[in-house]
């Protein structure tokens, strides 16, 4: 066993036996009262209560309702940031759990309740071994990951100033239970959004020859857009273009004047990402003009690629291997086309985003997403081990 491995002796057991009940209880409290976007005041209050009594310097109100807690070690040294997201999703829960959401139309369907409780657990574990740390650990509890860009706001407000490395975990369906996985380079895609409005000339549904049908034109635009990935993107470069919403019309027998469609573009290549708006506009406009309509585009660059620092990712896999065993640390073979606003933190500071497997469970962002809570102390131990391995004094 390496010197680093020796520093992990008993860490997982401590997280499970000493702090496991605390971690699970907090997860359930957060799960019952899910909050959206930046409006995570109740969740932040639960975090603060769970950190009460620890030797932390706490700052509140970061990115509106974020919490930043700093643990200073016995000696000066580098700073490690550990981040968890706190917000939920506008989804009606169908898990049947005894601690299911008590807020209609909202649930923690992406595991952020677990991420937050794991980070609180790591704070308790590391506070108990403060004398072994040569440096600082900054615990970053972030709101508004689900579309709000809370990670970007935390960076802009200085939450990562002075941080040398930053890490985050995400519970991951489909990955074997308790297995940690990451890799250097792109680990999750950039996520951008578009809205196309097709305008024509409306009229009676029985007299289409007197109209310029925006609905039919919009349908052809949707079909044509698929060629941007299948025929224009390098097939070795992952890319996704999805139209997720079409709105048009007010009655079954009226051809409307306009149709609106919205969608998302996911890429890992920055050059392709920057080319997509122009090609969408050209293609949609050409199709629309061919059908006696016109199309306008609004395009939003949202979350950049979540790009791991290669050294930080290799380091994380080494730590996970020493903590859990080699079979439970797996290099990711390809990026996910989902997106993460931890990307903004990785643009500011070297670090790595790590998936922690929860096995074969309903997928993220579904009404039935849940997981075996025994993974939570395991995640807390991994977060603590990452900081201890970076900061552990000899």
Annotated binding site for Mn(2+): 110, 112, 146, 170, 365
- Distance CA(342)–CA(353), nearest Å, equals 8
Spatial contact of 139 and 56, defined as CB atoms under 8 Å apart: yes
Which residues are annotated as part of the binding site? Answer: 110, 112, 146, 170, 365
The two structure tokens encoding residue 73: 């070690």
* Angle between helical axes of 270-290 and 214-225 (0-180°, round to 10): 150
């Amino acid at each position: 066993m390496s010197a680093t491995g020796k520093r992990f002796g008993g860490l997982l057991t401590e997280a499970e036996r000493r702090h496991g009940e605390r971690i699970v209880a907090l997860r359930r409290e957060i799960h019952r009262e899910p909050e959206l976007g930046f409006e995570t005041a109740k969740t932040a209050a639960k975090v603060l209560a769970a950190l009460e009594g620890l030797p932390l310097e706490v700052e509140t109100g970061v990115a509106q309702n974020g919490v930043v807690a700093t643990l200073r070690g016995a000696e000066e040294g580098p700073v490690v940031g550990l981040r968890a997201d706190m917000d939920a999703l506008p989804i009606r829960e169908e898990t049947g759990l005894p601690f299911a959401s008590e807020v209609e139309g909202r649930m923690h369907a992406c595991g952020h309740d677990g991420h937050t409780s794991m980070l609180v657990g790591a704070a308790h574990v590391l506070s108990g071994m403060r004398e072994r740390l040569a440096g600082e650990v900054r615990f970053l509890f972030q709101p508004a990951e689900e579309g709000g860009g809370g990670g970007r706001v935390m960076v802009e407000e200085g939450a990562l100033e002075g941080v040398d490395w930053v890490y985050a975990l995400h519970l991951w369906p489909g990955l074997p239970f308790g297995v940690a996985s990451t890799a250097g380079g792109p680990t999750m895609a950039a996520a951008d959004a578009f809205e196309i409005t097709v305008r024509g000339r409306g009229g009676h549904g029985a007299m289409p020859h007197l109209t310029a049908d925006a609905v039919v034109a919009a349908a052809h635009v949707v079909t044509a857009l698929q060629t941007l990935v299948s025929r224009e993107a390098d097939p070795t470069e992952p890319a996704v273009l999805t139209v997720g919403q079409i709105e048009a019309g007010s009655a079954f027998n009226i051809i409307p004047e306009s149709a609106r469609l919205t969608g998302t573009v996911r890429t890992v290549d920055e050059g392709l990402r920057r080319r997509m708006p122009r090609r969408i506009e050209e293609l949609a406009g050409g199709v629309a003009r061919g059908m006696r309509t016109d199309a306008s585009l609004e395009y939003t660059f949202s979350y950049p690629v979540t790009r791991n620092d290669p050294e930080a990712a290799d380091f994380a896999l080494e730590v996970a291997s020493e903590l859990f065993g080699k079979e439970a640390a797996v290099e990711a073979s390809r990026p996910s086309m989902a997106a993460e606003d931890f990307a903004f933190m990785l643009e500011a500071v070297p670090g790595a985003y790590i998936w922690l497997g929860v096995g074969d469970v309903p997928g993220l962002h579904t009404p039935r997403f849940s997981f075996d809570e025994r993974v939570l102390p395991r995640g807390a131990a991994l977060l603590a081990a990452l900081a201890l391995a970076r900061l552990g004094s000899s």
